[in-house]
Structure formats: structure tokens, C-alpha cells
Amino acid sequence: MTASEIPWVELAISLPLIGAVVTGRIRDPRRAFQAGVAFTGLTLALSIAAMIVFFTGTPYYSLQERLLGSAMFRLDELNAPLLPLVALLHFLTCVATPRSKMRRFSVGWSLTSESIRLAIFACQYPPLLLALLVLCVLPPVMELRNRREPVRAYAIHMALFVVLLIGGGAGLQLSGKGAFAGWASAAMMLAILLRCGMAPTHTWLIDWLERASFGNAILFVTPLTGMYAAVRLVLPVAPDWVLNTIGLASLVTTVYAAGMALIQNDARRFFAYFFLSQASIVLIGLELHTPAALAGSLSMWISSSLSLTGFGLTLRALEARIGRVDLTRFHGLYRRTPSLAIAFMITGLACVGFPGTLGFVAAELIVDGAVVADPVVGLGVVLATALNGMAVVRVYLLLFTGADEPSTLSLIMGPRERFAILTVLALVIGGGLYPMPGVASRDRVARTILAERAVTVPGAAVPAAGH
């Protein structure tokens, strides 16, 4: 059997579901966890193979076309690298889970969520994509219930998200290109802003990151699922005023969240606001809808997902050892865990696009496109990035400098945690040193999206042939 005769995408989507069933039948938590790691690793291998088959131009075998006559799950240049990205985030988070967190980290629900999330990122059929986006909000409810945490805030916001999403999707299907399409896309826009946690609807996201297990909380937010919904469902058909609204909400949120991250006294709340600010910058590129800004936004999507996951895993490793981390005093942890301190600083600076990291070129593209299109937006992005950088340095000083507290507790990273964090560091630094293949791919995707938008939206600008 050759590579072209294997349904890579279908296997990558279905394998985590099989893993969820298998691990659910294993009574020993440690053995169930080991099986979960194996399933996430195999899923990663399948998704990488699917990406390689696509980019090498090898004829792709689709089981869906054979059985159904059409393929609803398929790869194009937009989602081909996103599928292995999602699988990698799940694999690294599962691998880096310390023994003290194995009972709290639900392997079965994590695998179920991975399957749904991979299906979302592989889906190009709008009605099915809407259904999967609705389905994706259910596992966190079970996560909170299993931890005996209140679900009211999350349930109210997600119920509103589902209503707006289905209403907007149905409106777009019924209205086509008519005048009502603008209002239908506006409903979709509101749903996506709510799902991404844009202010003032951000309270559910902060609450979720505080109450859920840190591993599942990271996996729910860092793939930026709302960004994929925006690119697939809103950007190709929405009028300019809808995109401008997304940009304004994102700009306000990124500056507000960056300021809030700078004054937090709890590490989880700091990470929640820091994530929210960085995710908002990614969405700003949609408003500008120019090739450079959109390419930068698509590039930062990948770099932010990687960097924020690595950053979250370092905080999670600390939390597993010393409990919830207080940011009202200096902890002086550098002497006991210098490797964790270095990983914290590098992943934190990578999130804000420090030179030499994967996000640097992406941040430059967004700022360049913003300054040309709207100097106020460019100034807001620069201000938010500066505040986020200050927040990272502040938290680093509080955690790792100051007088060393006497303790016999070992804070040395375990081999699995070290492997996960070093993998993230290798990717963000390697991508920063050799960024052109990724940026060129995102530029082609941006120009394709804008060209399609020029056909569907009256008055939309056609992207120029060159930069």
C-alpha cells in the first residue's frame, strides 16, 4: 500500500475517538494515561503524514469520496499545517502532564476534544463546520462538572454563542449574496467574538482558565478555533463594516487585556489575560484585509498557538509543584529550577514576537500592515505588545528572583516535561531563524482568501500581485 492509498485525514480524526473508548475501559489511571499518550502520538504522526502528502502533491485517497461521493474533510494550504499543529499541542500537553496531575487530567475527554478539534480544522463544508463548532463546546461542560466547579458562566456564554452561530449560518445559507447577508455575517461575527473572549464578553474565558484543569484549559483556547471559524465563515463573505467591528473589538481587547495582565496577582489570571491579548492581535489582521496584514495574522496564529502552549506548560509545571502561584511576592525559584526559568522567559518573549523567534516576522507584518492601513491600529498593536512584554518580565522577576525560600521540595523538570518544552522552544526558535517557507505559504493563503472575497463581496479590494 502506497501513501496515496491511505486516508490520512480520516484516520487522524477518528483515532483519538478510538483512543477515548480504549482509555475509558482501563481502570488503572497510570496505564490509561500511557495509552492516551500513545494515541496522541499516533494521531500526530498521521496528521504530519497528511500534511506531507498534501504539500508534496501526492494524489490523495479520500475515503469520504469513495463512500459519500464528496469530501467534507480535506486539506488545502490554509489548514494543512493546522492539523498537525492541533495534534502537536495535544501530544505535548499530554506528555508534559506530571504524575500529580494525572488523575485530574481527563485523558478520555482530552482525546474526544482532540478528535472534534481536528475535524473542525479539516472541515471545509460550512453546515458541518457549524455543527462541529457547537459540539466543541460540550466537553468543557463535562470537565467542569467532573471537577465540581460551577458551569453557569460558561454555559450562558456558550448558549448565546450557539444561538448566534446557528442563526448567522442559517441566514447566510438562505440569503446568499443579498442584503440580509450582511446582518447574517454580523451574527456570525458576534458569535466568533464571544467564542474568542473579546471584551466585554471575556469573563467566561477568564473563569474557564481559572477553574478547569490547566492542561485541558490550555488545549481549549490555544488552537484559536475561533480564528478558523472567522477565516472560513466570515472573512470570505462579510462586508467591510463587519470586519471593521471585529478589528475594533480586537484592538480594544488586546490593549485592555495587556494592561490587566500587567497587574494580576494570580498566575492563572495573568495567563488568561495574557492569552486574551495575544489572541486578539491575531484577529486584528482580519480587519485590515490586506495581503501583508492577513499573512502576518495567519503566521502569528501558528506562532502564538505554539508559544502560548509552551508558556502555559511552564506555568503548569510550577503549579504542579507549589500549587496555585501567588504573584504578590518574590519566590526566588531560579536556584532550584534554572531550566524552568529559562523556558519561561523564552516562551514568554516568543509570544510577543521577540527577534529570533517564530512570531517576530508575523508581528512585523501585522504592524506594517496596520500602520499603512490605520496608524491608530498600528499604535494599539505596538502598545499591547509592549505591555505584554513588560508583564512577562514582571512575572519572571516575581517567580524566579528574590530570596530563595528554604524548602526540600524538588522543582527540577522531569524528562517528559523537558521534552515537551524543548520541542516548543526548538520550533519557535527554528522557525524564527528560517521563517520564509512558513511566511510564503501564509502569504499565498492570504492572497487566495482576499481574491475569493473580491468576487463575493462588492467593492472589496483585489490583492496586488506582489508586496
pLDDT digits (tens, 9 = 90+) for 435-453: 888 889 999 998 888 888 8
**C-alpha–C-alpha distance, residues 76 and 61, integer Å:** 14
Q: Which of 9-13, 72-76, 250-254, 307-311 has the lowest mean pLDDT?
A: 72-76
The mean per-residue pLDDT over the stretch 110-127 comes to 92
Confidence label for 90 from pLDDT (cuts 50, 70 and 90): very high
pTM: 0.91
- Would the CA dihedral through 168, 174, 175, 180 be positive or negative? negative
* pLDDT for res 61: 63
8 Å CB contact between 424 and 346? no
Distances in Å between the Cα of 208 and the Cα atoms of 126, 221, 259 are 27, 10, 20
Q: Which of 53-67, 216-230, 328-342 has the lowest mean pLDDT?
A: 53-67
Q: Which of 156-160, 250-254, 383-387, 433-437 has the lowest mean pLDDT?
A: 433-437
**C-alpha–C-alpha distance, residues 37 and 111, integer Å:** 10
401 exposed, middle or buried (CB, 10 Å; 0-12, 13-18, 19+)?
middle
**C-alpha–C-alpha distance, residues 56 and 238, integer Å:** 33
Query: Residue 379 pLDDT > 80, yes or no?
Result: yes
8 Å CB contact between 43 and 87? yes
Beta-strand ranges (E) seen in 236-332 are none
26 exposed, middle or buried (CB, 10 Å; 0-12, 13-18, 19+)?
middle
For residue 334, what is its C-alpha cell?
531560579
| % of the chain residues with pLDDT over 70 | 90
- Would the CA dihedral through 10, 13, 17, 19 be positive or negative? positive
312 exposed, middle or buried (CB, 10 Å; 0-12, 13-18, 19+)?
buried
The mean per-residue pLDDT over the stretch 302-329 comes to 90
Considering only CA atoms, which of 91, 86, 83 is closest in space to residue 37? Answer: 91
The mean per-residue pLDDT over the stretch 347-363 comes to 90
* pLDDT for res 103: 63
